[in-house]
A and B are shown apart, each in its own frame.
Chain A
Amino acid sequence: MHDLRFVIPPQDINREDFASSVPDFNRRSEIMRTDFGYKCMVSNIVRLTEQEKLFQLRIIDPVERALFRFKPGQFLMLEVPGYGDVPISISSSSSNHEFLELCIRKVGHVTSALFSIKEGARVAIRGPFGSAFPMDEMAGHNILLIAGGLGIAPLRAPLYWLNEHRDRFLDVHLLYGAKEPSQLLFTWQFDEWKMINHINLHTIVERADPQWLGKKGMITDLFNDITIATATTYAIVCGPPVMFKIVCSWLDRLGIPMNRMFVSLERRMHCGMGKCCRCMVGSTFTCIDGPVFDYWSVMNLKEAI
């Protein structure tokens, strides 16, 4: 009798013949991106508010750093070894190959751990994952950005893009609402955006303090301030779940085509790769098909907003 013990070593796993299509996942870069992650040094931490900090990450390996590319709107999985990983949208410029900036609010287990680390500490990132804002398609149009609260973080990447390619776009409006004046993020960039990049910035807060000279109210109150040519406008909306419905239906009523309105959704994620199903919205994954959806997809997806 022959020895029937068959042992296929893991490096030889492509040998079996019944599974027809064998993916070429063996490329090192692919596994780096999805399983190991890139090691990063936290090069700078800026405290924005009580709850939010801006982390500047620098990929340690120079080759990996040079090869790391992302598009505005994509996110990555930030890993703090021992604590877990969380999906964070990238809020730095996509042409910046030196470092990445992540605006993080202290809400959960991992982010609390992040808030205790000091500059020079090491974390890992996996990614980038997800879909991006179609910046090339938007060229030659008016842009309307609407951010609520922390929603400014994912919009900062497309904002950088707009600023770097300002001559390709017509009017750019940014409507930004927050709970309190102290909750407004990236205030030090407001002047730069307004003066240098000619972005029409409108801010509004729900609860004003005596020093606040701007407008007071909900983000919907800003809608009357601006006039937009709906036929040539692309809109990007990001904010808390309650905001999407109000803002998107208003934009819809204005007459902006559904395929020119983009939202960036937030869901619970564990893998970022369409495997854990935690981020499922209706029939699609937020991590693969999203987080950037056009409004038509959102309308089609049940329970998306």
Chain B
Amino acid sequence: MPIQVLMPALSPTMEKGNLAKWLKKEGETIKSGDVIAEIETDKATMEVEATDEGTLGKILIPEGTADVAVNTPIATILADGESAADLAKAPAAPAPSVAREVAESRSPVGEGKPMISAPKAAAAPPAVAEPDPEVPAGTEMVTQTIREALRDAMAEEMRRDADVFVMGEEVAEYQGAYKVTQGLLQEFGAKRVIDTPITEHGFAGIGVGAAMTGLKPIVEFMTFNFAMQAIDQIINSAAKTLYMSGGQMGCSIVFRGPNGAAARVAAQHSQDYSSWYSNVPGLKVVAPFSAADYKGLLKAAIRDPNPVIFLENEVLYGHTGEVPKLDDFVIPIGKARIVRSGSHVTIISWSNGMTYALKAADELAKDGIEAEVIDLRTLRPMDTETIVNSVKKTGRAVTVEEGWAQSGVGAEIAARIMENAFDYLDAPVARVSGKDVPMPYAANLEKLALPSAAEVVEAAKAVCYR
């Protein structure tokens, strides 16, 4: 049967165009790829190439015709052995239905599910968080720095799984820019503890590529400020590939390193990226405060089959805490922890923000205000349930973060409280955050730019109308 040549669409938005010129005449031989006509849109002139071989049978739309609708038959091509007499066999006018119509007109088959996409998509399934593991009574507690807890977490996971390796700048021979990887080279050797050149974008991509084959890299950034060089690989390659591959190919990878303000390192070394990464589906984002959480959550992050952003804090590296001495102490990602119980106001924070939150709670207690302090620990998926349950009890909430307020994690928490506990609120949610300025260098200005316990106290009192 003769083949119809249809008016092509040159972009998804094109609906009609002008048939400017025919470059082949009726009766001429046509090979696949030959330019047969020129069409014009408001944007450009384009060539129409034949996709079939044969003879140009009949021109249906003469040149110079304006506003030809996409998919209108413009000519017929006769295949080998066909003649003009066969033209009558070509379907008359109607353009072949486009794919979408074809799909929608078919009746459901197979699994019995409707084939037509529902106009409104179902809501995202809620994240289910597991509780912390039981630490048996009498378990020996070891006092160690956060730095050591992180090192032990990596070493334990590397002993457990030969596919786990660590790469980054100065992680091996220098023993870590902040000594977090101290001793790993000696135990695991240069094959698994890999010093990279100063090349964040490149080694982040190499890590993601290795992870796509099933290896489990721990990519250390000397600070997350430098990871901005690599953020394309983190988001476009690591976070999205599982979805874009229909679940075939994902990557188990941890990006870790200090995030946020250290001390006196000024604007380019002091940014908090909590809200940036927690914006992205496909990533998990963890930002612990206590030594035990650092250890248990890093082990969970390394085992997680998804890309995990593990935000540490340089100021906290030297802080000590009690870590249970267990063979395998893993804290599930996604569960907040109530660090201090109270009934008057809920203070929600994470990472070093907890320093201000806990100090403020002590101060508030002196004034008779019992604050409930929640350490989020994981920013994505966020444990909305723990926050909402607390706010339903206290009726008041304050968020504390070192990052900027606009589009910040505090803003997200406030929105979730409004969505889930509006009727329980006795006051608007208050946010304490880093000031809306690049981090200054001068000691006094830097102090002013960061949140403080006093600001948290003030905010808590304000929401309690005290």
A binds B: no
Residues of chain A whose beta carbon lies under 8 Å from any beta carbon of chain B:
none
